[in-house]
Structure 1
Amino acid sequence: MSSVGMFVMFAMLFATTSGLHLEGLSWGILPPFEQLSHLTSLTLKNIAGMCVFGPGSSGVTERSFMHLKTLEFMDMPGLVKWVGEPNSHMFSMLESIKLVNCPLLNLFPFLECSDRFTKLCSLYVDTCPELSQFPPMPHTSTLTWILIRNAGSIVRYIAKELNVEGYNGALAFRNMDKVEVVNIVGVSHISLSDLQELNSLRSIHFKNCDDMFSAELDDNIVLHSVQNLWIHELFITGELFSKVLKCFPALSHLTITKCKRLELLPVEDGGLSDLRLLQAFTGDYCKKLFSRWPMGEVGGEAHAIKPFPSSLRELDISYEPSMQSMGLLSNLTSLTSLSLRGCDRLTMDGFNPLITVNLKKFTLDTWYQLQGRFSIVGDLLSEIARSKLMHAGSFELEELIVDSISAVLTAPICSHLAATLHKLVFIQVQWETTFTDEQKQALQLLTSLKHLEFRFCPNLQCLPQWLRGLSSLKSLVIFRCKKILCLPPKENLPISLEELVVEACSPELIEQAINLKGTSPWFSVYVYVPREL
């Protein structure tokens, strides 16, 4: 059959079709699209020989696509231009455009006359490196789904979330009034005043965009709706950061990670102390956060300025060498969650036991680096015990993660935590090798415990062989404890146990865990052996 006959048959067969997908064709001239009067969806994929799409080429006329709502070009190596007639409404009904892997495409009607695409809801452009100079996006509030991605650059806008990474095109924030979450990475042309146009904005993440904060900040810039702020890898000073915080008076969650230059300022007015609504703070790998703060006793400096407002309920600080005194936290008596990890210069100086009154989750895996590398957990728990808080119904922990076995497994501590503690993790236990009889007996007191975990305990040689007294235990995890050679016998495990996880441990321990597989339909065993083992 001739190509003309094929096209005639094609038109007859699909005269009433609404969707058409053409792939892998090598026709020089495509079917007469104007005969497909009901066509609402068209996909062209890997069409060899097509350089131009539009009126006068590929079977396209002014009458084509009057009702087309969805148009996709995918894997079109030769396509250079998608054109439209001046003042034409040929593509005015389009609601969705998708352009994927069109390496030569440098023009399509939206770039020249975006105002005609009033019904466009979705724009997807991926790996089309020659396409640039997009109009300010989104061009209307109707366009609520955008993805424009090329090497090292992406803008993704999906209803309530906007992600911008390395994208230098203009953005029309006035048309994104529903956006609640913004992530900005590696750009400099967006300002805080731009973000003021997002009336529904709740959460912002800044990463590697120092130039956004290098200019003088206008005192009139206030983002009243923002509750969550995360800054990551910014070279920002404490002085400038204090000015930035004034733009976010309603912050409830603040996260600072890898801001190596940032030093929080000890000032009466400004900084974190002005954030009266702050509920949660996370600081990771920053090095200098508290380097300007004095380290002193709580008694003589009870009314001194503190880094955080007393409203704080959750505090997580990791690998922060400038965190050297518990006294910095002495005003935080509303804390429900406290995590101090890898702060290897932390001391008990100024510790106020009252900060533990409301704690439900407590993590402390920090050593005295300068005094023999002993954990401060023991001193901290002893101080709490001396304060009589345990007898007053306080310190009712539900989750405890610590770097010392001996500090926790004492009869007084375990008796107090017996009714509330659900999760106990021993992590980075460096010096303890075995369990004493007293510690084994204290462990049995934790009758509410559901999760018991040993993680990164390089010198621990054995586990307690009798765990049956832990009548609520559901999960036992052993991770990278390479000197532990044996599990408790199956009959010594609590009947409540549902899960055993053994990962990156000794061959002997792994073999025993494997042998426990299938011993009970209600008991699951998971064994993970990393490649280096």
Structure 2
Amino acid sequence: MTLWDIEDDGGSLPDGWASNLNSLKSLVIRNYPRLTSMSGAMRYLTSLEELEISGCDEFDPLSDVGAEDDGMEWRHLNCLHTLCFSKLPKLESLPAGLQRVTTLKNLTISDCPNLICLPEWISEFTSLEYLQFTRCAPNLTSLPDVISCLKSLKKLEIGGFQNLTTFPEWISNFTSLENLKIEECPNLTSLPDGMCYLRFLRHLRIQDCLNLTTFPERISELTSLQQLEIIKCPNLTSLPDGMHGLRSLRSLDIRECTNLTSLPDGMHGLSSLQSLEISYCPNLTSLPDGMHGLRSLRRLDIRECTNLTSLPDGMHGLSSLQSLEISDCPNLTSLPDGMHGLSSLQSLKIIRCPNLTSLPDGMHGLSSLQTLRIAGCPNLEKKCEKGIGEDWPKIAHVTDYSNKMLDWI
């Protein structure tokens, strides 16, 4: 048997329920309030490779063992490579038997508010590649140092620590790390310089860090970084000029950074960037002229930047751009004449930009443009009215044009 998925059906697990499951590979137990412990089942689950226990309000792996046992029954899971403990309010410590499970590669511990700390023996998980440690130990002010010993980690997710003010410099120990997510740490004010030693880091996500004010200047040393997400960091006012060194960056997503006033001029150095999204940054008034250097950019979305008044003339250099969306920018008054250089543009959406009154003259030269949507822009819609609008000749070559929102939302 490869999978047994147990959810609450109003009954209880019978005594000896696991006695015939010695070939079971995967076990998922969700939202089962009568589950209190599994110690008696461990000896039978010797082939188990994946185990998830979540949403079980009474589950405590040590509830039915003696003080001398301390959960040693869990040592029988000697094939286990993936373990998830989630939404377990009574979990206070991990069963000691897990320290014998040297095969573990993926460990998730999430939403276990009474788990105060991680045991020192976690350092023995020398094969661990993925760790998610989120929304546990609500009073934690610093991350457990034992995490620094997990030098095989490739993916680390940390989040939900309301009192965490600094991120430890030992992050530099993770020389194999490829994916780092830091979320819901509202009192974190800065990121460690040690991040810049993560030479293999490909994906970095920073979200809901409400007091984060700066990024490391040496971020340019993350030469393998391909995806960067900065979301809901309202006290971040600028991004480091060093970003121009991120030569491998393919996707940049900046959302809900309400005090961000500018983007670095060095953005032209992002030679591999294919996707750029900037949304709900109301204090952003302009985009850098250096954008003309984004020769690989294919998708550009600008949403809810309410104080944005113009787009850079340098946009003509975006020769690979295929999709452009501009929405909810009420102070945008014009589009750049340089748009005629968008030779690969296939889709253009302009939504709820009421102060736009006309399209640039170069629009008729966008020979690749197939789809054009204009809605919530009353003056512009009037000028683009089919056959009679002043700007209609500029877009008459577009095969799929609509100014009716309901046609395409």
Settle same-fold status: TM greater than 0.5: yes
| CA distance in 2 between partners of 1:128 and 1:327 (Å) | 48
Q: 1:252 to 1:309 in 2, by over 3 A?
A: farther
Q: 1:375 to 1:102 in 2, by over 3 A?
A: closer
Q: 1:469 to 1:223 in 2, by over 3 A?
A: same
Shift in Å, 1:265: 5.3
2:286 matched to 1:376? Answer: yes
Q: Cα RMSD over matched residues?
A: 4.6
Pick from 470, 473, 477: which aligns with 2:366?
470
Pick from 252, 263, 277: which aligns with 2:200?
277
2:37 matched to 1:133? Answer: yes
2:135 matched to 1:208? Answer: yes
Count of aligned residue pairs for this structure pair:
369
| CA distance in 2 between partners of 1:153 and 1:397 (Å) | 51
Q: 1:138 to 1:109 in 2, by over 3 A?
A: closer
1:172-197 superposed Cα distances (whole Å, 9 cap, x missing partner): 64548264463633351672756555
Shift in Å, 1:327: 3.9
Q: 1:336 to 1:122 in 2, by over 3 A?
A: closer
Q: 1:395 to 1:276 in 2, by over 3 A?
A: same
Shift in Å, 1:423: 2.0
1:22-45 superposed Cα distances (whole Å, 9 cap, x missing partner): xxxxxxxxxxxxxxxxxxxxxxxx
1:419-460 superposed Cα distances (whole Å, 9 cap, x missing partner): 311221213312135x57xx4x643442201232335x3525
2:84 matched to 1:163? Answer: yes
Contact 2:186 2:211 survives alignment (8 Å): yes
Shift in Å, 1:226: 1.6
1:298-338 superposed Cα distances (whole Å, 9 cap, x missing partner): xxxxxxx7263522534322332332234454563424443
Contact 1:232 1:259 survives alignment (8 Å): yes
Task: Name the residue aligned to 2:354.
Answer: 459
Shift in Å, 1:221: 4.6
2:182 matched to 1:308? Answer: no
SS at match of 1:206: strand
- The equivalences for 1:108-507 within 5 A come to 108-110=15-17, 118-123=22-27, 125=29, 128-135=32-39, 139=43, 140-146=45-51, 148=53, 150=55, 152=57, 161-167=82-88, 168=91, 170=94, 173=98, 174-175=100-101, 177=103, 179-180=105-106, 182=108, 184-187=110-113, 188=115, 191=118, 193=120, 195-196=122-123, 198-210=125-137, 217-218=144-145, 221-239=148-166, 241-242=167-168, 245=171, 248-264=174-190, 271-290=194-213, 306=217, 308=219, 310-312=221-223, 313=225, 314-327=227-240, 329=242, 332-334=245-247, 335-348=249-262, 351-352=265-266, 355-365=269-279, 369=283, 375-377=285-287, 380-381=288-289, 384=290, 390=293, 395-402=295-302, 403=305, 404=308, 406-408=310-312, 410=313, 413-414=315-316, 416-417=317-318, 419-432=319-332, 435=334, 439=336, 442-455=338-351, 457-460=352-355, 464=359, 469-476=365-372, 481=376, 483=378, 489=386, 492=395, 494=397, 497=400
More divergent stretch after superposition (255-264 vs 424-433): 424-433
| CA distance in 2 between partners of 1:279 and 1:322 (Å) | 25
SS at match of 1:109: coil
| CA distance in 2 between partners of 1:357 and 1:465 (Å) | 27
- The equivalences for 1:81-92 within 5 A come to none
**Aligned residue identity for 2:179:** H
**Aligned residue identity for 1:233:** G
TM-score w.r.t. the length of structure 1 is 0.55
Contact 1:217 1:244 survives alignment (8 Å): no
**Aligned residue identity for 2:366:** L
1:210-242 superposed Cα distances (whole Å, 9 cap, x missing partner): 369668845685222222222232225344x21
Task: Please list every run of 5 or more consecutive structure 1 residues that lacks an aligned counterpart in the other structure.
Answer: 1-69, 71-94, 294-304, 503-507, 514-525, 529-533
| CA distance in 2 between partners of 1:279 and 1:247 (Å) | 16
| CA distance in 2 between partners of 1:357 and 1:461 (Å) | 31
Q: 1:271 to 1:288 in 2, by over 3 A?
A: farther
**Aligned residue identity for 1:208:** R
SS at match of 1:454: strand
Which has the greater radius of gyration?
1
TM-score w.r.t. the length of structure 2 is 0.69
SS at match of 2:237: coil
Task: Please list every run of 5 or more consecutive structure 2 residues that lacks an aligned counterpart in the other structure.
Answer: 61-76
Shift in Å, 1:142: 0.5
Q: 1:165 to 1:447 in 2, by over 3 A?
A: same
| CA distance in 2 between partners of 1:99 and 1:316 (Å) | 36
Contact 2:343 2:366 survives alignment (8 Å): yes
Shift in Å, 1:109: 1.5
SS at match of 2:404: helix
1:348-371 superposed Cα distances (whole Å, 9 cap, x missing partner): 5974456444433333457674xx
**Aligned residue identity for 1:413:** M
SS at match of 2:349: strand
SS at match of 1:119: coil
| CA distance in 2 between partners of 1:217 and 1:354 (Å) | 39
SS at match of 1:210: coil
Contact 2:323 2:347 survives alignment (8 Å): yes
